[in-house]
Structure 1
Amino acid sequence: MPTAPHPQNTDELYQALQENGRRPYGRPRTVTAEELVDTAELLADPAALVHALLELQDAYTYGSEPRKSPVVFARLLALFDEQPDVFDERRRHALFWRFKWVANALRALPEMPLTSLRQWLTEMRDRYEKAGLGLQPYYGQAYQLAAHRGEDTTVAYELWAGRRRTPLSDCEACEICELARHHLAAGDDERALAAWEPVLDGKESCREEPARSVSYALLPLLRTGRVERARELHLAGYRGCRRDPAMSQEVGRHLEFCALTGNEARGLELLAENRSLLDEVESPLDLYDFLTGVEVLLQRVELLGHGELPAAGYAGRTWTVTALRAEVSTRADDLAARFDARNATTAHTDRRRARLDRAPLLDALELTLRTRGLDEATVAATPAAGPAARTPAAVPESLTELIVQARALDRQGHPDAQLCWARLRTLVAARDYAHPDDPAVGPLVQLRADLLSAEAIRADEKDEPAAALHEEAAGLYEDAGAPGDAALARAHALIAAAERPDEAPAETSAETSAETLAEDADDADGTGAKATALTAAHASLVRLHEETPGLAPHHEARLLRLRAAALGLRLQASGNEEHVAPVFAEVDLLHAYATRHDLPTQISGALHLRAGTHALSGDLPAAVTEIDGLLDRLKAHGPAWHLPRTLALRGRIQLGLRDARAAHADLTEGLRLAADWPADTSGTARLHADLAEACMHLGRPDEALRHLTRSAELELRHGNRTDAYCTYGNAAQLSLDLGRVEDCIALLDSLLADPGAAAGELDDRLVAQLRLTRARALHAGEDLKAATAEFVALAAESAGWHDDPGSHAMIAAETAVLLGESGEFDRARDAADQALAAHARAPRYEQLSNCLRELARLQTQRQGPDGLPGALAHLTTAGRIADEARAAGHQAHGRSLDTALAYEHGRINAYAGAYDDSLTALDRALTLLGDPGPEDGHAGEWAECVRLAGAVEGIYLERPAPALTRLDAAISLLTALGRTEDAEPLTSLAARLRDQE
């Protein structure tokens, strides 16, 4: 697996070692490290060879290959004995530090005899004493061996913990973890958590910490009632160890945490994400611990009766939970037995048994924003319907009665029809199905037409192509001698085809839209093609209606409703005022006919259509009046299942009227009533989404977030994957806006790890948007390395979006800034150039100006005077963009681009020590800003500009008198405006300058 041409000299070798050191740990890095050791031997440079061997041992240690680490160290030790002068102070320190690594590696190998472990510790002690080094690190290793074996650690602990730390002691974070684990083993959760506090709070860290400590602290936190803290640390800690072979033990403990908190489904999700660890972990000790965590999870899933669920297991075969648990148990038992045999104790078997026997600590803990259950995704309970909650009608046992009931319920539009059709679909598909010879149910072909028609309606509701299914059903109805049903099927086909004139995704289904015209006004595609197609469809519907003789009242009413729906959809697509009156005319026909024949469902549908048409035409008060009348009728005469959708429509209209409180009340009541009916027939997902909007208007973002996630999970359960992921994306963005960074990342990780997303079943732009939000969250969470890597990947992919250069410009600009934050200014310049090229095709003035100004600031802040030329080049380009924006009449959303540019000139010149140029630029920025007034929104920006100018003038140019004059005038102005907070930094600076005088 060669990674690059072999270095030809020592300089190239060191460069290659440095580049390899930036790679993540794993086989590619390890293989390259092995190759570089071979190269170092050929170059015959002892110092270079030492460096290469140190890097190779590093790769083995953190790549979870403990068998190879001691071999490399033996070579290093031999070189030290033979040529000690080759080891400068840094290399000597690294050598003695790694005695501990070898001790850890030998302890992790059950085939390594106990005598060999003790001999190595003796070697370590002797070497430390000979070198005049403190023995605290040796006693630390002696303690860890005692704890590993499960013997009494009292003396070993005191000999280690009672000694003063030395430069070769483990880092503070790692030692804290060992101290806390000692208290944990003694059963003292509180003392352990107190010891862990500096690490869990982020005050002490290293490569493995705080991820390692977090994994051990999760259960003690639960046991001591710190549930929310455990949840937070699980989200952050898991991200720090996932898919890392060197941290497989930690992954196992996160799986165990899921199993013991009612999050078995999330545990299976995390197991799938870490499936490779089952085959990649080379450390027997790490593998033993990881497998035990896996078994805790699988055992719990099996105990809950889900042993036949698929599970992500060893490569090469398909696994169920039960089969994988048996395999994992066998392997983990074997490892425990091998360690116990080596150690002459039963410690590892006992520890496994204790973990496997542990009872759940919580029935349910909502770990992430995406609630999951073992029986597919589940949604947290909606507001309870109370004791009056409706029980669905019983499905008849008699096949004849079942068919008759299904058709009767279907004619009414009753939600329970779905239960009957689902049962019939199963029965008809059976090989032994025998159709009743009964005139009351008609021939089998008619039943097949019914089932196909129900399937087509469901496809309509999911925005899937349905015209062909409706046409096929119409043909079957004709074969069955049911012309009315055939006409209805053809009517549905006409509307379904009209909604996709250019094969674009349908926005709404015909029958659904007939009830909810106002719901999706924001989603209308607005194309003339769609409006034209719907006009033609309506004409065809009228002809179909007129040319079909002998229609029953329920057939004729539904045809009238579809005629009205077609015109309503046309109005929605076109927004043309001339299309309003024809809708009302058709609605009046429907209402009159339904009233004459006493068809409550169609009367309700007509009134709902009328209210929706008022809303679409912009007459919201009239829409409210219509809805109020409809609600009164529904409460008196039914149908009851129309109440949730009607309240939902009134809630949306109230949002349009900017009465969020009334909207919240209507939508909440609608959601309460929707609990009586199947979620996909009562619009529960949409109710949750609209409630989220109302909550945002009311300043309740946390409640909004809950409704968004409920809506998304319902959409997912109903097969509306794209809608679900869009809503989840909104929830992720909201959680990020709320500062819940780890929630945001965990939600997006879950979505992006979904097999459907990984297999490319989702729109690639939607997936890219989710990844973009995740990258921003990683940045907000200060994981600059991961955020930069994701942004770089997205920038490369979006470069191919020739239909959307604006998005590429935005992504490339953000990528440039992150590269600048990482100090990679050459790569940042390349990314900025990409953004500029895309900007030329689709201008993004503010994003590009912000990017270039930020790069200029970062470069001078990091490089000082050496970075000034590059920074000025960025600002020159930003100046050109400001000129373009001005010429195009672009209005900035915040401060003007010229003002921002002048301020940045002042700031970067100050960083670079060019103080006269800095002050000139800041004065220009203040002139552009102008003095703030009572209504101005730029007082804070103006005050900051004055403060920087005062600092440059008074401190760096050593001209305190004019600086104080400037500051005092600004303080007086800000105080007069009541902006005392903005004046405080200026007052502090003025006091400092007076003290210096």
Structure 2
Amino acid sequence: MPTAPVPQTTDELYQALQENDRRPYGRTRTVTAEELVDAAEQFAEPVPLVHALLELQEAYTYGSEPRKSPVVFARLLTLFDEQPDVFDERLRHMLFWRFKWVANALRALPEVPLASLRQWLTEMRDRYEKADLGLQPYYGQAYQLAAHTGEDTTLAYELWSGRTRTRLSDCEACEICERALYHLTAGDDERALRTWEPVLAGKESCQEEPARSVSYALLPLLRTGRTDRARELHLAGYRSCRRNPSTSPEVGRHLEFCALTGNEARGLELLAENRSLFDEVDSPLDLLDFLTGVEVLLQRVELLGHGELPAAGYAGRTWTVAGLRAEVRGRADDLAARFDARNGTTAHTDRRGARLDRAPLLDALELTLRPRSLDDVAPAAPVAAPAARTSATVPDSLPELILRARTLDEQGHPDAHACWARLRTLAAARDYTHPDDPAVGPLVQLRADLLTDEASRAGERDEFADAAALHEEAAALYDDAGLPGHAALARACALLATAEIPAEAADAAETKAAALTDAHASMVRLHDETPGLAPFQEARLLRLRATALGLRLQTSRSEEHVAPVLAEVDVLHAFATRHDLAGQLSGALLLRVSTYAISGDLPAAVTEIDALLDRLKAQGPAWHLPRTRGLRGRLQLGLRDAQAAHADLTEGLRLAADWPADTVDTGRLHGDLAEACMHLGRPDEALRHLTRSAELELRRGSRTDAFCTYSNAAQLSLDLGRVEDCIALLDSLLAEPDVAAGELDDRLVAQLRLTRARALHTGEDLKAATAEFVALAAESAGWDDDPASHAMIAAETAVLLGESGEFGRAREVVDQALVAHARAPRYEQLSNCLRELARLQAQRQGPDGLADARAFLADAGRIADEARAAEYEAHGRSLDTALAYEHGRVNAYVSEYEDALAALEKALALLGEPGRDDDHAGEWAECVRLAGVVEGIYLERPAPALTRLDAAVSRLTALGHTEETESLTSLAARLRDEE
């Protein structure tokens, strides 16, 4: 089925060829190129057919289809032999250039005999000599064949490398790579890297470079100790080659790099992203390279004991690491053997073996902002808790284990969780036999205990409805066991969990406060109606009562709700003191600290928490210390003492390491530390804490919170100029199964994609950035509840389309933004967008683009009028001043110099002359400079221009704005020189 209308004229054919040339390499481009060759054959003219065949050969070459490229070239060569006059200088150059493409294609096919490869090189040499072309390109191909077979490489290299380059030589970047690979094969990493430097530094590039050189340079960089450079090049280099069949060998080397740097989990992630390459790579040589890199990764994962992990492989079945490794090994061994049989050497088997035999070069290199281990990607793998200095060994005896769990639970000791986890496993077994021991109690009591622990875990994850149901179920079982005190405690917990279920009403805060008031009243009744409570049970009931009132205060922020909390806290404090319940006493004091903090009395809160810390250090419980330190750190943040906050939070993290991972919310500690670091001007440290916080939240199951934190980390990394880090992090997040399946909040995913699109733009990948922005603009158009976001996204999209020269599409998208803006104004963003589009169109199209540029400025003028009427104050320069300045620039671009000068005079009048402390001195100086250029150079009136510039320099100098005078002084000197 045709992919596009069949061209009816040669003009339509050339237009279709141009459009196809803008497509990425792949099946769509290749199929279209095939159709265009069919279309070209309908015309009686040979030239259109030559152009179509050249496009088709390019599609085959860069679409990794080497079997078809020589066939197309044979047709071109026949046309050249039959009608040489059809080939102008440009077409003739392209034809002779592509002899090398055919040589590369034939080398990549093991079924092509070695004699045929040599015969083709002879044909190339004869053709070059007949056409009086230099033979350096021929010797380059002869060397590449020698390197491929592994025979006579030194002589072939010398014959090639010593010759002078010609117009048909491979580009500088490709030849640099070949030279570097020669030194690399000889074992000289340093010389190879020196040779590669112009390509790695971005000074030389082409269609295939620097992606190819980067992939080869990664391991020598590691071996020579340049780990930071290797990391940087991996991030940028991988992104430029992923999911592309023609760069599958490069993908394989990036996977190998992950395997040899302790980044096996990232390697599996990248493998999943490139799973299509298993079926799309048609070049046997490229496939051998790719599969060997895949096998290096899978071999490493299996050696680390994770052979049963899922792995992305060939379509049609589910793979484990071990299963896929066996499949890949068989296929790659066969390919290497076929090449060696064709070449009569063992070069490919030997090279493959050398890659597979390499030992890891580093134990761990933090490649991305999301470092993950294989344990993190194991399905349903529990998070291992750090070893705890104070943790007791879980008893082997079942009765001991049950009694130990209950004792620890009464104390609130964190080691209780490990005991309950062990008991849950034992009780779920088919052969479980409950101890016949009065001290242990009946099986129904244990089931209730386990439900209570499960309910507590659900509450910690904010799954309040589940927690409430589990507590109610536990209460019923405790009733069956004849334990009214336990049942009352479980029902009190259910009351609190129910009150915390988020309300969807418009007055959600009021509704929740009322629910907490009711829950407290019910707890008081429950307390009064339950006789015979043990001290630990009564203390817990009192703690729940105080907590309910504390949450009500946190929800309402009402002054009248402060005293009731403190009153309940005093009751709890007195009871815990009387019965020597250290954990509940500490809990009471923490509640008091929180109450002071919520009510705004931070100094009182700090005084209370300092006393609590002294008590905890002296009398315990020690496991409350990390959380208390963390709270003190948050209080210091509130008091704007970031240094003290950093010290407290760091100490909290240090103390938390002594206890099981779920004892303290370390994710919160890292998040608060990130805030402290930002206040201290340490953004890189803040970024590390943000990513650690996010990953801990992810492991706890708080996926929305985790992705929000990661979103903040991505934005911070972009703000820091770490563009590739930002993109790699977001790529990893967007590849998460629940994101790909559409299960995560769509607006949060859109925010991640938006940040990624901005990072791509910052990284100058305009094509990819524009594609993402266009997709986001289309999706956000349906956000009827959030037109402001659509206006913002559409405005940014329009600017990128303008930067790509697609002003027609930019106009369409900006019109959408204006419609959304009418519903939810975004004055500054829309004004900035419209002015930038006007500048771009005038700058690129000159007078031809003036009408459309002025239409953009007219829209910006209406936005400025609306903003003024709404008394909106711009965060940057005023919209009116910015608009006048842009009128000046636009008119200057299209040679309307009088209008440009008048607009700039208006902008200067709106700005007013700067003062000593004004922050618009730079803007004023730039406006004066542009006015001076228009007046003195384009209008050829240097005298008034110099008067303007000299007055401005004097004014700025007198005010101390000397830096702003530099451009004005330079322009004035130029005008004087030209007089």
Whichever residue aligns with residue 220 of structure 2, its letter is P
In the alignment, the residues of structure 2 paired with residue 170 and residue 63 of structure 1 have an alpha-carbon distance, to the nearest angstrom, of 19
Separation in 1 of the partners of 2:684 and 2:166?
48
CA distance in 1, matches of 2:431, 2:694: 40
- Identical-pair percentage: 83
Amino acid at match of 1:414: H
Aligned to 1:785: 767
Aligned with 2:919 (options 913, 937, 941) = 937
Q: What's the offset of the Cα at 1:377?
A: 6.0
Which of residues 557, 578, 582 in structure 1 aligns to 2:564?
582
Q: Which residue in the other structure is 2:470 paired with?
A: 469
Q: Which residue of 1 aligns with 2:23?
A: 23
Q: In 2, distance between residues paired with 1:548 and 1:852?
A: 71
Instruction: Name the CA distance, whole Å, in 2 between partners of 1:838 and 1:477.
Output: 58
* Residues 514-551 of structure 1, C-alpha deviations (whole Å, 9 max, x = no match): xxxxxxxxxx9973222222222222222222222322
Work out whether residues 395 and 419 of structure 1, in 8 Å CA contact, stay in contact via their aligned partners in 2.
yes
The 3-state SS of whatever aligns with 1:376 is: helix
**CA–CA distance in 2 between the matches of 1:312 and 1:692?**
35
Distance 2:769 2:372 in 1: 27
Counterpart of 1:709 in structure 2 is 691
Q: Is the 1:371–1:377 contact (alpha carbons within 8 Å) kept by the matching residues of 2? A: no
Deviation at 1:84, TM superposition (A): 2.3
In structure 2, distance between residues paired with 1:579 and 1:491: 21
Q: Quote the Cα distance in structure 2 between the aligned partners of 1:563 and 1:768.
A: 41
Supply the AA of the counterpart residue of 2:962.
Answer: T
Q: Point out the more displaced range, 527-536 or 203-212.
A: 527-536
- Report the residue type matching 1:540 in the other structure: S
Alpha-carbon distance in structure 2 between the residues aligned to 1:835 and 1:546: 62
1:725 maps to 707
Correspondences of 1:492-531 after superposition (within 5 Å): 492-502=493-503, 527-531=509-513
1:915-972 CA-to-partner distances (Å, cap 9, x unmatched) read 1111111111111111111221111111111111111111111111111111111111
Match of 1:878 in 2: 860
Q: What is the rounded CA distance, in whole Å, between the counterparts of 2:399 and 2:362 in structure 1?
A: 48
Q: State how far apart, in whole Å, the 1-side matches of 2:2 and 2:598 are.
A: 65
Of stretches 556-565 and 660-669 in structure 1, the one that deviates more from structure 2 is 556-565
For residues 763-803 of structure 1, give each alpha carbon's deviation from its aligned partner in whole angstroms, at most 9, with x where no partner exists: 11111111111111111111111111111111111111111
Structure 1 equivalent of residue 450 of structure 2: 451
Native 8 Å contact 1:61 1:101 kept in 2: yes
User: 3-state SS of the aligned residue for 1:235?
Assistant: helix
Q: Which residue of 2 aligns with 1:107?
A: 107
Q: Does residue 754 of the first structure (1) align with residue 736 of the second (2)?
A: yes
Distance change >3 Å, CA 525–CA 312, structure 1 → 2 = farther
Q: In structure 2, what is the Cα distance between the partners aligned to 1:850 and 1:495?
A: 50
Q: Are the counterparts in 1 of residues 502 and 508 from structure 2 also a CA contact under 8 Å?
A: no
Counterpart pick for 1:795 among 760, 766, 777 = 777
Give the residue type in structure 1 aligned to 2:475: A
| Partner in structure 2 of residue 260 of structure 1 | 260
User: What corresponds to 1:989 in structure 2?
Assistant: 971
- Structure 1 equivalent of residue 492 of structure 2: 491
Deviations 1:831-863 (CA, angstroms, capped at 9, x unpaired): 111111111111111111111111111111111
Say how many residue pairs are matched.
Answer: 971
Deviation at 1:878? 0.7
Distance, in Å, in 2 between the alignment partners of 1:213 and 1:475 is 69
CA distance in 1, matches of 2:529, 2:429: 38
Aligned counterparts of 1:944 and 1:476: Cα–Cα separation in 2 = 78
Rounded to whole Å, the distance in 1 between the matches of 2:895 and 2:77 is 49
Residue correspondence of structure 1 range 237-248 to structure 2 within 5 A? 237-248=237-248
Q: Once the two structures are superposed, what CA deviation does each residue of 1:621-654 show, in whole Å capped at 9, x if it has no partner?
A: 1111111111111111111111111111111111
- Cα offset, 1:152, TM superposition: 2.0
Does residue 1:831 correspond to 2:831, yes or no? no
- Note the 1:646-661 alignment, pairs <5 A: 646-661=628-643
2:548 pairs with 1:566: yes
SS of the aligned residue for 1:317 comes to coil
- Which deviates more from structure 2 when the two are superposed, residues 270-279 or residues 8-17? 8-17
Partner of 1:394: 393
Contact 1:308 1:322 in 2 (8 A): yes
Cα deviation for residue 19 of structure 1 reads 2.1
Q: For the Cα contact (< 8 Å) 1:679–1:685, is it kept in 2?
A: no
Counterparts of 2:785 and 2:487 in 1: how far apart (Å)? 43
**Matched residue SS, 2:705:** helix
| CA distance in structure 2 between the partners assigned to 1:92 and 1:526 by the alignment | 75
User: What is the distance in 1 between the residues matched to 2:631 and 2:678?
Assistant: 18
Identify the residue that residue 507 of structure 1 maps to in structure 2.
none
1:911 aligns with 2:893: yes
Hey, what's the Cα distance between the residues in 2 that align with 1:393 and 1:45? 89
Residue 382 (structure 2) aligns with: none
Task: Kindly report which structure 2 residues correspond to 1:635-654, keeping only aligned pairs within 5 A, or say none.
Answer: 635-654=617-636
Corresponding residue for residue 685 of structure 1: 667
C-alpha distance in structure 2 between counterparts of 1:40 and 1:490, whole Å: 81
Q: d(CA) in 2 for partners of 1:945 and 1:284?
A: 61
Q: Which residue of 622, 627, 632 maps to 2:614?
A: 632
Q: Which residue in the other structure is 1:415 paired with?
A: 414
Residue 898 of structure 1: CA displacement? 0.7
- For the 8 Å contact 1:377–1:717, the answer to whether it is kept is no
Whole-angstrom distance in 1 between the partners of 2:893 and 2:714: 37
Q: After TM superposition, give the deviation of residue 402 of structure 1 in Å.
A: 0.8
Query: Is this contact kept in 2: 1:525–1:573, CA < 8 A?
Result: no
Kindly state the Cα deviation for residue 680 of structure 1 after the two structures are TM-superposed: 2.3
* Superposed structure 1 runs of 4+ greater than 3 Å apart: none
Identify the range of structure 1 (728-737 vs 479-488) with the bigger mean alpha-carbon deviation: 479-488
Q: Contact 1:377/1:713 (CA < 8 Å) preserved in 2?
A: no
Q: CA deviation at 1:266?
A: 1.0
Unaligned runs of 5+ in 1: 379-384, 505-523
CA contact (8 A) 2:388 2:660 kept: no
Amino acid at match of 2:571: L
> Offset of 1:389 from its aligned partner?
6.4
Pick the aligned partner of 1:861 from 843, 850, 853.
Answer: 843
Secondary structure, aligned partner of 1:820:
helix
C-alpha contact 2:388 2:659 (8 A) present in aligned 1: no
Q: Secondary structure at the residue paired with 2:376?
A: coil
Structure 2 CA distance for partners of 1:761 and 1:17, relative to 1, 3 Å: same
1:424 and 2:423 are equivalent in the alignment: yes
1:123-138 to structure 2, matched below 5 A, reads 123-138=123-138
Q: Are 1:674 and 1:684, in contact at CA under 8 Å, matched by a contact in 2?
A: yes
AA at the equivalent of 2:447: R
Alpha-carbon displacement from aligned partner over 1:643-682 (angstroms, at most 9, x marks no partner): 1111111111111111001111111111111111123221
Offset of residue 277 of structure 1: 0.8
- 1:231 aligns to 2:213 (yes or no): no
CA drift of 1:46 comes to 2.1
Q: Residue 600 of structure 1: which of 582, 600, 608 is its match?
A: 582
State the one-letter code of the partner of 1:586.
E
Q: Please report the TM-score for the alignment, with normalisation by the length of structure 2.
A: 0.97
Go from structure 1 to structure 2 and tell me whether the alpha carbon gap of 1:501 and 1:332 turns closer, same or farther (over 3 Å shift).
closer
Partner of 1:50: 50
Structure 1 residues 388-409: Cα deviation after superposition (integer angstroms, max 9, x where no partner): 9614111010111111111111
The residue type paired with residue 442 of structure 2 is P
Distance 2:3 2:557 in 1: 60
Contact 2:569 2:588 in 1 (8 A): yes
Within 5 Å, give how 1:528-567 maps onto structure 2: 528-567=510-549
Report the secondary structure of 1:59's partner residue: helix
Q: Distance in 1 between matches of 2:725 and 2:313?
A: 27
- Corresponding residue for residue 480 of structure 1: 481
**What is the distance in 1 between the residues matched to 2:468 and 2:7?**
65
Q: Which residue of 1 is the match for residue 602 of structure 2?
A: 620
Match of 2:658 in 1: 676
CA contact (8 A) 1:448 1:476 kept: yes
> What displacement does 1:503 show?
5.7
Within 5 Å, give how 1:318-333 maps onto structure 2.
318-333=318-333
Are 2:845 and 1:844 equivalent residues in the alignment?
no
2:388 and 2:657 in contact (8 A); partners too: yes
Letter of the 1:479 partner, please give it. Answer: D
Partner of 1:402: helix, strand, or coil? helix
Q: Distance in 2 between matches of 1:130 and 1:493?
A: 92
Which residue does 1:519 correspond to in 2?
Answer: none
Q: Which moved more, 1:486-495 or 1:174-183?
A: 486-495
Task: Give the superposition deviation at 1:501.
Answer: 4.6
Partner of 1:739: helix, strand, or coil?
A: coil
Distance in 2, Cα, partners of 1:231 & 1:445: 56
